[in-house]
Amino acid sequence: MITDDTQMNGPENKMTSQHLASPLAGDAAAFAASKTGRANLAASRLGYGAMELSGPPKARDIPEADAIRFLNQIVDAGISYIDTSIDYGLSESLIGKALYHRRSDFLLASKCACEVGVDPYAPRLDHQHEKHVYTGANVIAGVEQSLKRLRTDHLDLVQVHGNPTRKELEDGGVIEALLKLKQKGAVLRIGISSRLPLLEEFIDVDYFTDVQVPYSALQRTNEDAIAALRASGKTVIVRGVTGRGAPAKGWATRPIGTAQGEVRDLWERANLDEILDGMSRIEFMIRFVLSNDNVNVALVATTNHEHLLADIAYAAKGPLPQALAGEARKRLLAAGCGPGLGKYQSGGPTPVT
């Protein structure tokens, strides 16, 4: 087994809880930055997932000046965790341009094992055309490229992308490369973005401190695995929290990993509107995830400032009342949505409308 002898050492003092101890602005003070994981990663519980800054066709076409302004608004609002990837088109370059001058204000996570050298301004078709290469050389090249695009000397977290097997990573020299990057201070923590069934292979590994998984009220497949990850001492970051906003958009889009109409039918079978008691569907989605104590960081993704502030306000209300959360889980389970249930559909996201 490959182990990480530098796990509790190294240059983690580049980003400490002191930098991120202030709560979110205004009414969102209810969820101040928290210490998570084995190395005390400090992050606001609500994080920002920057895939929506990819550019078309994966995401909307946003003028660069607007994207730069929006990224600064994210940090101004108190969100201190930003997640991106080489695979997210323009995202890394925009973050670098927007936030290089305030790098100490937030934690920055990206992905590795992605295709390196692709022009971020060249249109990409969709997720089905993303390529992942699980070799040490490609991982090092990818991190070096990300550092340049993000205009930083280190990543607080780098996550292996593409849902590989443990054997692929260990045989390809990926883990050795990541540990070398950590020893050099180019990355402070290493992890993986994964999902069941392969996620099970990484629950007890000691070289990863952080794991990102898809999870929401409408995608509960990984729920028990999330609990196991936390029990093993790992930080859990979840994506897809609002289902790409589908419940609030007349189901014009859908969460990544679901078939057309799947989550709409699930929502209706569970009759969730009956229990919302005046809250919006998106508020329910965010607070449902925050009701899971095993979730350290919940990523939301938007390019709309009003939506961002609304998401923060919803999160500031905290988890759903215990009885409501229990009733929602009961209804969802009866409708076929629960731990270990459901099948992740391959392919890319539908456009956000």
Provide the 10 A C-beta neighbour count for residue 141. Answer: 18
User: What does the pLDDT look like over 220-272, one tens digit per residue?
Assistant: 999 999 999 999 999 999 999 999 999 999 999 898 889 999 999 999 999 99
pLDDT of residue 123: 62
Q: Which domain holds residue 140?
A: 12-334
Task: Tell me how many domains the chain contains.
Answer: 1
User: What does the pLDDT look like over 72-87, one tens digit per residue?
Assistant: 999 999 999 999 999 9
Average pLDDT of span 63-67: 96
Domain membership flag for residue 71: yes
**pLDDT above 50 for 14:** no
Tell me the one-letter amino acid at 123.
Answer: P
pLDDT of residue 170: 95
User: What does the pLDDT look like over 114-151, one tens digit per residue?
Assistant: 988 888 877 655 555 678 999 999 999 999 999 999 99
Domain membership flag for residue 346: no
Question: Could you tell me if 37 and 235 are in contact, meaning their C-beta atoms sit under 8 angstroms apart?
Answer: yes
pLDDT of residue 56: 85
Ramachandran area for residue 146 (φ above 0: left; ψ -120 to 50: alpha; else beta)? alpha
**pLDDT above 90 for 12:** no
Domain membership flag for residue 342: no
Buried b (16+ CB within 10 A) or exposed e, 21-32: eeebeeebeebb
Instruction: Give me the chain's average pLDDT, please.
Output: 86
Distance CA 239, CA 242 (A): 9
Residue 30's SS3 state is: helix
Packing angle of the helix pair 262-270, 322-334 (nearest 10 deg):
120
Domain membership flag for residue 352: no
Q: Out of 31-40, 231-240, 283-292, which region has the weakest mean confidence (pLDDT)?
A: 31-40
Residue 352: band (very low, low, confident or very high) from pLDDT cuts 50, 70, 90: low
Domain membership flag for residue 349: no
Buried b (16+ CB within 10 A) or exposed e, 292-327: bebbbbbbbbbbeeebbbbbbbbbbbebbeeebbeb
Could you tell me what percent of the chain has a pLDDT over 70? 84
Q: What is the CATH number of the domain that holds 109?
A: 3.20.20.100
User: What does the pLDDT look like over 331-344, one tens digit per residue?
Assistant: 999 999 999 998 88
In this structure, what are the phi and psi dihedrals at residue 125, rounded to the nearest 5 degrees?
Answer: -75, -60
Chain mean position to CA 59: 16
Domain membership flag for residue 340: no
Domain membership flag for residue 347: no
Return the ∠ at Cα 256 (arms to 130 and 314), rounded to 5°. Answer: 130
pLDDT of residue 350: 56
Average pLDDT of span 316-330: 97
Average pLDDT of span 152-165: 95
Burial class (CB in 10 A: 0-12, 13-18, 19+), 161: buried
Domain membership flag for residue 188: yes
Question: Could you tell me if 30 and 10 are in contact, meaning their C-beta atoms sit under 8 angstroms apart?
Answer: no
